[in-house]
Structure formats: C-alpha cells, structure tokens
C-alpha cells in the first residue's frame, strides 16, 4: 500500500490555507481534506510493515510541535510543479520527524535519506502552467510575505495514498497524539 506519515493540520490552519489557495488563479488546488505536512513518504509497503509501524508509533511518546507558516514556495524548477506554504523548521517539528523516522526504522522500513523542508502543498500545476506564467507570477508576488499565526500540531496520521487521474486520494489509517496525548 502506498503510504506516508504526516502532520494532520488543525482546522483553523486548513481554513487559512484554503483562503491562500483561492488567491492563486491557476493550477489545481489540493482538496481541503488532503492538506497536510508530510514527515515521511513511505512509498509502497506491505500490510505487515504498516502494522509494525503502527505498533512502533503507538509505543512512542511523540513530541509536541508548532506549525508556523512563513511564506510560500514554488517547487519544480523553471516550470513549477506545485505551490506550497513554507513551514518553519523549528526544533519541535524536527524532533517529531526524527521520532517518526525512528519508528519507521524500528518497523523495518528502509527509506532513502532526504532533506526535510517542511511545507504544505497548496496547488499542483500541469503542463499548461507555461501559458499562465504572468498570472502565477502576480499571485506569488502578492503572497510572498505570507505569515500565518503559529499553532500547535495536534496529531500525526498514517495515510494511504491512491493515485487517480483527478489526483491522489488520501485515507487516514491511524492517528497518533503528540506531547504524550494518545
């Protein structure tokens, strides 16, 4: 099963990000229910590995973390693939990711090393983005100073991801409280 671990966003942050999406006149906005901050993309994993990961996460006390949105970013180089809200790489969030990666290793799931750049994907772009360049540039310039009030992350979720022609569909398989809250 294609899966990932992510911070489930508090409702007030999701609503604020939906308003940011509305300011971008091009691309395909990520569905509000699919907004999240990925901690670890697990790719395809057998059920027994996900069960072992679940057990490892339940046995851990996951640290509290803050979510502070501090701007936007385009990913994908000269022809962007997506627009995201940047999230501050604060110590609590790094500790949360490290704890989750420890559980992933404990479950016997091997992941490639990757740099952690916390973000929430807001809008995905297709090949037509080349024709929308000026409209996208104006939207990005207007959002450049984006800052949203920081808030506590509430939980980490284990999600299944199914790819469809309309975009990925996510299903939360399990949720794990933070700061000792299970």
- Residue spans of the domains in the chain: they are 2-177
pLDDT over 90 at 131, yes or no: no
pLDDT of residue 180: 52
Terminal alpha carbon distance of the chain? 25
Rounded CA-CA distance 26/142 in Å is: 14
> Sorting pLDDT into bands at 50, 70 and 90, what band is 154?
very high
Which helix (H) or strand (E) covers residue 17, if one does? helix 11-22
pLDDT of residue 156: 98
Which whole-number Å values give the CA distances from 173 to 3, 97, 106, in the listed order?
A: 9, 18, 19
> For residues 113 and 39, which has the higher predicted lDDT (pLDDT)?
39
* Burial degree of 143 (CB within 10 A; 0-12, 13-18, 19+): middle
Contacts of 176 (CB under 8 A, 6+ apart): 57, 58, 60, 62, 155, 156, 157, 158, 182
pLDDT over 90 at 14, yes or no: yes
What mean pLDDT comes out for the span 29-57?
Answer: 97
* Burial degree of 45 (CB within 10 A; 0-12, 13-18, 19+): buried
> For residues 103 and 133, which has the higher predicted lDDT (pLDDT)?
103
> For residues 181 and 80, which has the higher predicted lDDT (pLDDT)?
80
CATH no. for 2-177: 3.90.1140.10
């Amino acid at each position: 099963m294609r899966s990932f671990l992510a911070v489930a966003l508090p409702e007030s942050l999701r609503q604020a990000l939906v308003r940011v999406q509305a300011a971008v006149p091009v691309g395909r906005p990520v569905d509000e229910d699919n907004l999240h901050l990925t901690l670890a993309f697990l790719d395809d994993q057998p059920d027994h590995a996900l069960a072992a990961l679940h057990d490892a996460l339940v046995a851990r006390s996951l640290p509290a973390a803050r979510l502070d949105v501090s701007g936007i970013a385009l990913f994908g180089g000269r022809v962007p693939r997506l627009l995201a809200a940047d999230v501050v790489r604060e110590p609590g969030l790094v500790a949360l990711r490290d704890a989750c990666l420890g559980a992933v290793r404990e479950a016997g799931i091997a992941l490639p090393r990757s740099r952690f750049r916390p973000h929430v994907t807001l809008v995905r772009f297709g090949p037509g983005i080349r024709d929308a360049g000026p409209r996208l540039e104006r939207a990005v310039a207007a959002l450049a100073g984006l800052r949203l009030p920081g808030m506590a992350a509430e939980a980490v979720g284990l999600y299944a991801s199914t790819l469809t022609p309309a975009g990925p569909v996510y299903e939360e398989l399990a949720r794990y409280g933070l700061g000792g809250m299970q």
